[in-house]
Structure 1
Amino acid sequence: MTAANGPEISWFSALCDDDYEFLGVPDPALKSSWEHCRNIVLTAEKGGFDNILLPSGYQLGIDTQMFAGAIAALTHRIRLLMAIRVGETWPPQLARQIATLDQILATESVDGSGHKRSRLTVNIISSDMPGEVLASKPRYARTVEVMNILKSLLNGEALDHQGEFYQLKLQPPAVKTVSGKCPPLYFGGLSEDAREAAAEAADVYLMWPDTMDKVKDIVADMTARAAKRGRTLRFGYRVHVVVRETEAEARAAADRLLVKLDAATGDAIRAKSLDSQSAGVARQAELREQASDGYVEDNLWTGIGRARSGCGAALVGDPDQIVAKLEAYRQVGMDAFILSGYPHAAEADLFSRHVLPRIKHGPLVI
């Protein structure tokens, strides 16, 4: 597994109605729709990003897999990191869907060999579904089963899986990915059960913003857990970003995001998420409590978490500061970054002009 081109730099398309000019204030022009989310992806591809996360939500926004199939035909270089919620789709059918989308996305290899190059990666999400409450341990056990089923089928292997949640004996699906292998599986979670699931079956372990010492601790812990299973993990960092020509301008832009937010609205936004009680969300709340003037350490601003569940902090600074911060994360083990900013298309353009040309980067190869 290599990352010879430097870290993978990804952006985020707001399929789950998560786009604002002012946090907590819905804007019809930024609401999740085919046109709006398509424009974010095309802006990210034009700007030079390597990958783009297509999130998934049951209660908000548009369908991830349908969007991925449609946007595949309009893009030429950027990868898609398609989010899949475990339990929503029967795993063998999901394997066929992934293989089909992988073929739609395939492009000619840049080395002139004539071989097709895959552009699909998959973000596995373990969460309850509406109307379902499953305890943490069995929920993550189900997630591991699905990841293993997908790997067997998409690696072209016959499947004989006798698990707690699925009992399947199947031949490989007739439709295969262009590589003949399962696309890389990105997966995150901070709880004990989530960490064990990642060590068991994920390829890339994703983490939300945290202090540098805590990031080091998580990398060391997950490396050790994977090693006990004879495996290795790559690491990704999901964080928002606000970059401007000067630090003062960046801080002012960050503060502007919150000028119309009241505490009750922020509480309501966080509470409606299906993962609002997770260990990862709890840690983001701790960071906000520890922050001085909103900053928990240099250039890491927690104010953004006042208006959203999940990833709740942003890198804020001038281009030099953002490049230095990303490099610091690289030094402690990060191989991939999934970035976002409000509004998403405008911030993608700013990042692509101010920061991307200064970083050697490329798709993560696993």
Structure 2
Amino acid sequence: MKELHSFGWYASRITPNLSKDVFKPVPARLWGGFAYLLIVVTGFLAIGLFDLHMVLNIVIAGVLGASFAGMGFLGHEILHGTVVKKSWLRNFLGAVAFWPLSTGPRLWRKWHNMNHHVHTQHDEKDPDAWPNLEKFVQNSFLRAIYRLPFGVRAFFSFLSLSIQFTIHGTMMFIEYIKDFNPKNRPAVLLQTVLPWATWIGLLFWIGPIKWLFAFLIPLLIANFIVMSYISTNHRLNPLTSVNDPLANSLTVTVPKWVNVLHFNFSYHTEHHLFPSMSPKYYPIVKQHIKKMWPERYHEMKMSKAMKALWNTPRIYFKDNELIDPHKQYTFGTLGNGLASGKPSHSDGLKKTV
């Protein structure tokens, strides 16, 4: 692995080449969120008030799921302070945007802004980092999962993307609620409970069948879309002791229209260099990174990144490699030999696991 540098090291070298305007909030981004909100409300009313054909309900559920995800991407942007600066307005708009995913703004800032961004891909401090071999040995559930045949494990791993964000968000609430000042805990709890109260209320209003199409299926779709990005953001990269975004983050490439719908969320290395900059300007940052450090920068088509995820395990070995403990195969990470997700070599680790 090349010498690692902090995100501040890179940012300080790119910033002189950028206009001051790129660091200003872009409130116009809210128009996209308003459009998504109108679609969601319209979808709820259509399913709730009319007895539509199942095919139409499925179509609406798909649109709602895509809208839930789009709102989540905007909520992520809002809570980084790149849309509006006023604290109360940022929290309010962030709460609305994350409402479908039932994630409160205070919890998100603690979990994502303060912990994930500051300690990205640190094996102990990043709440989103996947476990190393030592943690795997201590986890009976993971050991059982990795005894499954590879194809079965990969299939269920991808299927689980449809619930991972919701489950991980719940785990983060349990993990971090104790870290909040006691006087702030009721607000954190309320921000977590209120969205779920809304969705349970919707269940009683429209009934279980319609609720399936209005909320549950859309939630699964939104989880899958969001986690497809989150999984490719870092899970092919090595663990790093220094928070080096060019080593521990991946930018995926998607069609331009997808970037419009997803608020440029695909530019993830750029985001970790400048989290307080509107993603509107990340294409400019990307140009500078590729000009200054082309050999360090990682980008990959989303389809290729998802294929590499399918073909590799999620257990780290020596930080720079991924390992299938029972097959005793190791795989390179990005920057350390990962090409198509094929095993690089075999180590005699049977006694270890």
| TM bin (shorter chain) | under 0.3
Larger strand proportion, structure 1 or 2?
Answer: 1
Report the TM-score, using the length of structure 2 for normalisation: 0.26
Report the TM-score, using the length of structure 1 for normalisation: 0.26
Larger helix proportion, structure 1 or 2?
Answer: 2
| Rg (Cα) greater in structure | 2
